[in-house]
Chain A
């Protein structure tokens, strides 16, 4: 048992516990903070895998920008306390059923792959080099240029949509 494995086990526990906390917390602010903790755990997983760029991007984008906006909206709307009762009665059994199916699937794949560990690529060797960011950029802008541009257009459309929806028309009341 090496130190990396111990780290991994502690981190996984933290990740699972924070995810549970997110689900079970009745206060929206605490739920959001649990989610931030979960994102941080995922970022450290990336670090363990030897991908510091992705780890720090994860923290900047998810924990630093998106979750801050979530908190902002929760506080602005004053929606901190969630109602005690469930609004959709059929939601809980359906969710449990789907979760069981997902767990079964994941476990099946895991046990099937146990014999194939040798074929899994070692990502560390490629990513951990000095020119990791250069490699990432070249791959992104050569091999995946079209998906990248499509994503950026999607984001632009979303932004324009938000601006149009919130823009007050001249002369319109309210």
Chain B
């Protein structure tokens, strides 16, 4: 283990962190502008052209705000909680590859990813499961009933949807036959996994919305019920850190989704075998994944603008009674489909999307039936 290798890792980690934090600042602007457009407003457009200086103005405001610590709060954990929330959000993207071919800089071959470990997907799972602590501790240490309720809700919600999230990863892992992110991306060279796993991708997107506490699953911070949930007592930079974690997680989870189901850094399907293919011009990799991330982020914002928050008991019922059995069924269908395609006929791989769409239709039918029941308004 030589010194320059460690230096290379540190520099790459630093650059990635900077990109994520800059991305966070402009994601807030992106969200506010897009939401405003959807709601037929204009949005922030005063600070700089098109409002591009708005995030800087927000940051200055938050830095100069008074930092309050509740008198009976647990001081140490109150300080630690925002940090514990931000760190997993930043480090989770370490395994996402931004390109395939290494480029040389200062006489060294530099790879366009930080860590290429053979259990990349498992790494994402473990970091995602660690991410709960910050929110729970923020809620508990505030010594505030509303914050506490928010923290408890987020624990229950994130644990419930983590299982579904993990099972939706399994579809991509099985199809690629590897847990390495690079192998998963290269396995999508001819066809994105979203084609073979349409329902799996949908489940992944729903579960990630619940994991990052975004609308319509933002129960931990439901204003009408809990004022602001787990960050009720936070102000100034500590609040900014919690806010930053939420948006950084959005970026991270979009990058992961793009890698697992939408071909990662590989070109769009209509560009394959042209000059714009990754194999011809490798430097386009980061550009492609950036475009995919922006599209997925727009999807998240769109969902927030469209759907009302769902009730807490329905949220849990939806996760446990519908998404979890569905994703289990999808794992089964995918495994059987791969075996049949290997042993019998290659075209049988198309049984996976067909059967999973049938499962999805069945699930939608069941929701419809339950909601139509007059005596039972609950799912």
Q: A-side interface residues toward B, CB under 8 Å?
A: 3, 29, 33, 36, 52-53, 56-57, 59-60, 63-65, 68-69, 71-72, 75-76, 130, 132-133
Contact: B129 with A56, CB < 8 Å? no
Is B56 close to A, CB under 8 A?
no
Contact: B179 with A68, CB < 8 Å? no
Q: Which of A63, A72, A75, A133 contacts B119 (CB 8 A)?
A: A133
Residues of A within 8 A of B122 (CB): 53, 56-57, 60
Residues of A within 8 A of B132 (CB): 64, 68
B window 160-176: CB within 8 A of A: 162
B74, B133, B140, B152 interface centre (most CB from chain A within 10 Å):
B133
Contact: A76 with B152, CB < 8 Å? yes
User: Given A52-B117, A72-B156, A130-B118, does the pair A60, B136 have CB atoms closer than 8 Å?
Assistant: no
Closest A residue, CB atoms, query B156: A72
- A–B Cβ pairs within 8 angstroms, 25 of them: A29-B74, A29-B137, A33-B137, A52-B117, A52-B119, A56-B126, A57-B122, A59-B126, A59-B129, A59-B130, A60-B125, A60-B126, A60-B129, A63-B129, A63-B130, A65-B129, A69-B159, A71-B133, A71-B136, A71-B155, A72-B136, A72-B152, A75-B148, A130-B118, A133-B179
Contact: B117 with A29, CB < 8 Å? no
Complex CA distance for A79 and B331, rounded to whole angstroms: 40
* Given A60-B129, A71-B133, A75-B151, 7 additional A-B pairs, CB 8 A: A33-B137, A64-B130, A64-B162, A65-B159, A65-B162, A68-B159, A72-B159
Contact: A75 with B136, CB < 8 Å? yes
Residues of A within 8 A of B152 (CB): 72, 75-76
Complex CA distance for A33 and B1, rounded to whole angstroms: 33
Closest A residue, CB atoms, query B141: A29
Q: How far apart are B148's CB and chain A's nearest CB, in angstroms?
A: 7
B window 1-21: CB within 8 A of A: 1
Report the contact-size class of chain B (Cβ under 8 Å from the partner). Answer: 20 to 34
B window 295-312: CB within 8 A of A: none
Closest B residue, CB atoms, query A40: B130
Is B123 close to A, CB under 8 A?
yes
Complex CA distance for A59 and B88, rounded to whole angstroms: 13
Closest A residue, CB atoms, query B84: A33
Q: How far apart are A31's CB and chain B's nearest CB, in angstroms?
A: 13
Q: B-side interface residues toward A, CB under 8 Å?
A: 1, 74, 77, 117-119, 122-123, 125-126, 128-130, 132-133, 136-137, 140, 148, 151-152, 155-156, 158-159, 162, 179
Complex CA distance for A64 and B165, rounded to whole angstroms: 14
Contact: B118 with A64, CB < 8 Å? no
User: Given A3-B1, A53-B119, does the pair A64, B126 have CB atoms closer than 8 Å?
Assistant: yes
Residues of A within 8 A of B130 (CB): 59, 63-64
Residues of B within 8 A of A76 (CB): 152
Closest B residue, CB atoms, query A4: B1
Complex CA distance for A75 and B133, rounded to whole angstroms: 13
Q: How far apart are B2's CB and chain A's nearest CB, in angstroms?
A: 11
Residues of A within 8 A of B151 (CB): 75
Complex CA distance for A59 and B155, rounded to whole angstroms: 17
Contact: A75 with B140, CB < 8 Å? yes
Residues of B within 8 A of A3 (CB): 1
Contact: B133 with A52, CB < 8 Å? no
Closest B residue, CB atoms, query A53: B119
Contact: A68 with B118, CB < 8 Å? no
Residues of A within 8 A of B129 (CB): 59-60, 63-65, 68
Complex CA distance for A53 and B122, rounded to whole angstroms: 8
Residues of B within 8 A of A71 (CB): 133, 136, 140, 155
Residues of B within 8 A of A69 (CB): 159
Residues of B within 8 A of A68 (CB): 129, 132-133, 136, 155, 158-159
Complex CA distance for A60 and B179, rounded to whole angstroms: 15
Complex CA distance for A59 and B77, rounded to whole angstroms: 21
Residues of B within 8 A of A57 (CB): 122, 126
Complex CA distance for A138 and B125, rounded to whole angstroms: 22
Contact: A52 with B126, CB < 8 Å? no
Residues of A within 8 A of B159 (CB): 65, 68-69, 72
Closest B residue, CB atoms, query A133: B179
Residues of A within 8 A of B123 (CB): 56
Complex CA distance for A80 and B128, rounded to whole angstroms: 26
Residues of B within 8 A of A60 (CB): 122, 125-126, 129
Closest A residue, CB atoms, query B123: A56
B74, B129, B158 interface centre (most CB from chain A within 10 Å):
B129
Complex CA distance for A60 and B130, rounded to whole angstroms: 7
Contact: A133 with B118, CB < 8 Å? yes
